[in-house]
Amino acid sequence: MTADDRPKILIVDDDEAFRNLVVRLLTQRGFEILEARTTRDANVLLARNKFVLLIVDYKLPDVDGMTWIQQLRDRNINVPVAFCSGIWCDQRTFNWLRNILRVALVLNKPIDPQLFVEVIESVLPPPPKMTVTQEVEALARVDKSIIQIEYEQILNKFPGSSLAKSELEGIINSPDTQTELLDRLKMLRRKLEVEEAVNVAKVKYLGELGQTWPMLTKHVRQYKDDHKNRAAYENAVGLAHKLRGTAGSFHINKVSHAAGKLEDMLQSLDPTDDLSSEVIWSEIFRHLSEGEISIREEREALGSFTINENVVQLARVLFVGSSPLLQALATSGDITTACECSVVSTLQTALATVRNTRFNAVVIGPPLSNHPELLKFTQEVRISEENQQVPLLLISSAEQDFSYVQLKYAGISEFLSETVSPVDLVAAVNRLAGEQEQYKSRVLLVDDDEVLTNFVSRVLRSNNYVVDSLNEPIRVMEKLYEFEPQLLVLDVIMPGLTGYDVCRLIRGDIRWKDMPVLFLTAKSNQEGRANAFRAGGDDLLSKPVLTEELLARVSTYLQVAKLKQVQAEIDPATNVFNRNTFLRRAEKLFSANSDNYSICLFAIDQFDKIGQQYGEFACETVVATLGKLLRTRFQPTVLKGRWGEKGFALCFADEEEGAIAQLMELLLEEFSAMTFAGQHGETFHSTFSIGVSRAPEDGSIFEQLRDRAVQKLLDNIHERLTRVK
C-alpha cells in the first residue's frame, strides 16, 4: 500500500481558507484530501478517483451544492456526502437533504475543528491500518511536532485518568527514539480508550450487582434453611463463581474476593457435620454482608448510585375513614403491593396529613363519605401546597346524603361502591395517577444511543419526571409538539444532525426559544462548554452520566423553567390559566373529547358598578374570590381559566348536559352567598352570568364552540338586563 492508497475525501468549496482547514484536520487522521473550487473541477476529480466521502458547500460559483448532489444521485453516484453550509437550513430542506439526496451529514459552518473530525469519522469506515513496513517508513518521517500533538491530545482527552498521568511522564522523559516515543504514545492512547470503555461498562455492571448480590444471598439462605435444596446450592455456587471472575475483571476487588470466599466455603461445607458447619455458616454470612457493603461503597465512590434507580415508585394513597371495610381495603395484599398506603380516621387528621405529604390519590370512605364537612374538606385539599391536583376517590353506599352533582362539585373524580374489589380500586388509582402525569415535569431525551437513553430515563422517571426519548434527531420538532417537554437533554454526536444543530433549530422556533437545553457530551472541557453555549445550550452533562449530577442539573433548570412557565401561563390575580393558555389547552382537550365536551363562560354581573360603588379594591376581591372558588371546586382535570377583566372560563370533558347545568347552579349559589366588603365597610353580594356551549350539539370545531359560548353569555347578560329594567 502506498501513501496514495489512503482513503480519499473530496472537498468542494470555493472558500480557500475553509478548504485548507479541512485538509489540515483530515490529513492528520490518515485521509487524502482532494480539493475542488467548483462543481466542474469536482466532476473531473470524481471521474478519476474513488472517494469515501464528499464534503460539499451550498454556495458554489457555478452550480449550487444541492443541485450538484442531485445531479450525482441522478447519475447513480452514491458516494456519502457531508453537506456543509454557512446558511442554516430549515427542516424541510433538511428532510430533502437527508431523504432525497441521501446526505450522510448536515453540518453548519463555522465548524468546531475537533467536533468536525469526530462527526466526519463517525460516518466513515476507519482508515485501513498500515502494514508493518509502511508504518516503519511512516515513522521514519516522524517529527517532533507530531509527538507534541499526540501528547497534548492524550492530556486533553483523558484529563482524569491516573494511567495517563503516570505513563505520559515516563514516556516523555524516556531516552527512546522519536519513533519509539510515538509508538508508545499511540499504545497508551489505545489503552486509555480501553480503560474508558471498561469504566463505562463498570457503571452499568455496578447497577446489575445491586440485584445479583441479593439474589446470591437469597439462594444461600434457602440452602441454609433446607440442606436438601440442591437447586439453591447450585445457584449459589454458580453465582458466586461468576461474581468472582466478573467483579474482579472490573477491578471491584473486594466484591470479587468476597464472592471467591463464598464459592470456596460453600463447596467445603458438609451439612451433616454440625460443629464445623456452624463456623463456616457464620463466615459465609460475614462475607455476604462484606460483599454488600463493598458494592455500596463502590457505588458511592462513583457518586452515581446513591438512589436505587430500579425501584418502581408505588403510588402513595391516603385512605380517609374508619370503617372495617376501608381498613380491609387498605391492608389487602392487592393494594399494598401496588400502593404505599396510609390510613387516617378523621377529616381533621386527613387535612393535617395532606398539608404535609404529597399523595397520588386520596380515598374517602365510610363513615366520612357522608360527613357534613366533606365539601369543606375537599376545598381545603385544593388549597394545600402539596395536593392541589390530587384525585379524590369516594367509596360510599347507595344511601348518600350528598347528591352526585354535589360530590362532583366538591371535586370527586371517581365514585366506587362499598363492594369495590381491591383490584378495581388499584386500577382506578393508577388511571387517575396517570392523568396526574400532566402536572409532572416533562423531559425529552434526544440521543441515538439507546443504552444511554434507557439509563437516563430510568433515573429521571424514578425521580418523578415524565420522560420520553427520541433516537432520531430529525424528528425533534414533531416530538416537541407532541410531547411538550419542559426540558431537553441533547446528545452532541448523532448520525445526520449534530446536537448543536438541533439546538439551533429549536431556538429558531418562538415556542421553544426559552426551553432549557442540556447537552450530553464526552467533551466537557472548556472548548466543549464554549461550543454548547454558542449553540444555544444552557448547560452540559459529561459522559459517562453520573446520576447525582444529572438530577441536580435537571432539577435546577426545571425550576427556572417552571417559574417562567407560571409567569407565561397563569393569571397572577386569580391563579387560574390566563386566557391564551386556557384556549390552547381547551382546544387540545377538545380534540380528544369532541363527543362530550362543554365550555362554560362566566361574567361577573354589574362589574363596573361594583367598582364605582364599592371601590377598585372590592372589584379585585370579587375576582380573586371567584377565581379561588373555581380552583377549589371540580376535579383537577376540569380546565379553569381567566376570560377578560371580569370573566372566567371552565372546560369539561365527559360531563352530561344536565350535570353541567346543576354544577353551574351550585357554583352560582355558593358564590352569591358570599359577602364582600366595600370601601366604607358596607357589605354586598355579587352574582355572575353564564354561557355554556356543548359538543357535539353546538358545533364540531373548537372555534364554533368558543363563539357559541360567548354568544350565549351575551344573550344571558342581555336577558338579565331587560329583566332588571
Of the candidate spans 2-10, 190-198, 486-494, 607-615, the one that interacts with another protein by CB under 8 A turns out to be 190-198
Interface with another protein includes 247 (CB under 8 A)? Answer: yes
Interface with another protein includes 293 (CB under 8 A)? Answer: no
Sign of CA dihedral 238, 239, 244, 247: positive
Total binding residues toward another protein, as defined by CB under 8 A: 28
List, as own/partner pairs, every contact residues 659-667 make where C-beta atoms lie below 8 angstroms and the sequence separation is at least 24, other chains included.
Answer: 659/404, 659/405, 659/408, 660/598, 660/600, 660/692, 660/694, 661/692, 662/405, 663/405, 663/408, 663/409, 663/634, 664/600, 664/690, 664/692, 666/405, 666/406, 666/409, 667/409, 667/629, 667/630, 667/633
Of 247 and 490, the one with the shorter C-beta distance to another protein is 247
Q: How far is the CB of 457 from another protein (least distance, A)?
A: 21
Q: How far is the CB of 287 from another protein (least distance, A)?
A: 16
Interface with another protein includes 129 (CB under 8 A)? Answer: yes
Residue 371: partners with Cβ closer than 8 Å, 6 or more residues away: 347, 377
Interface with another protein includes 242 (CB under 8 A)? Answer: yes
SS (H, E, C) 152-196: HHHHHHCCCCHHHHHHHHHHHCCCCCHHHHHHHHHHHHHHHHHHH
Identified binder of another protein from the candidate list 65, 260, 485, 691, rule CB under 8 A: 260
CA angle 545/546/552 to nearest 5° reads 110
Are 123 and 80 in contact by the 8 Å Cβ rule? The answer is: yes
Q: How far is the CB of 215 from another protein (least distance, A)?
A: 15
Q: How far is the CB of 268 from another protein (least distance, A)?
A: 13
Are 500 and 535 in contact by the 8 Å Cβ rule? The answer is: yes
Interface with another protein includes 197 (CB under 8 A)? Answer: yes
H/E element, 615 = none
Are 626 and 620 in contact by the 8 Å Cβ rule? The answer is: no
Q: How far is the CB of 181 from another protein (least distance, A)?
A: 18
Interface with another protein includes 544 (CB under 8 A)? Answer: no
Grid cell listed for 1: 500500500
Interface with another protein includes 263 (CB under 8 A)? Answer: yes
In whole angstroms, give the CA distance from residue 710 to residue 533: 47
Of the candidate spans 45-53, 234-242, 570-578, 690-698, the one that interacts with another protein by CB under 8 A turns out to be 234-242
Residue from 444, 436, 432, 538 nearest 482 by CA? 444
Please name the residue that has the C-alpha cell 445526520. 496
Interface with another protein includes 93 (CB under 8 A)? Answer: no
Interface with another protein includes 214 (CB under 8 A)? Answer: no
Residue from 636, 614, 658 nearest 650 by CA? 636
3-state secondary structure of 338: helix
Identified binder of another protein from the candidate list 17, 47, 132, 673, rule CB under 8 A: 132
Residue type, 114: Q
Interface with another protein includes 31 (CB under 8 A)? Answer: no
Of 206 and 663, the one with the shorter C-beta distance to another protein is 206
Of the candidate spans 244-252, 305-313, 429-437, 711-719, the one that interacts with another protein by CB under 8 A turns out to be 244-252
Of 194 and 293, the one with the shorter C-beta distance to another protein is 194
Interface with another protein includes 254 (CB under 8 A)? Answer: no
Identified binder of another protein from the candidate list 50, 190, 680, 725, rule CB under 8 A: 190
H/E element, 669 = helix 657-672
3-state secondary structure of 652: strand
Identified binder of another protein from the candidate list 250, 377, 582, 634, rule CB under 8 A: 250
Of the candidate spans 76-84, 183-191, 658-666, 674-682, the one that interacts with another protein by CB under 8 A turns out to be 183-191
Of the candidate spans 25-33, 34-42, 251-259, 572-580, the one that interacts with another protein by CB under 8 A turns out to be 251-259
Of 113 and 128, the one with the shorter C-beta distance to another protein is 128
Grid cell listed for 383: 388549597
Q: How far is the CB of 318 from another protein (least distance, A)?
A: 43
Grid cell listed for 443: 423531559
Interface with another protein includes 137 (CB under 8 A)? Answer: no
Of 198 and 573, the one with the shorter C-beta distance to another protein is 198
Residues in the site for another protein, rule: CB under 8 A?
129, 132, 187, 190-191, 193-195, 197-198, 201, 205, 208, 238, 241-242, 244-251, 253, 256, 260, 263
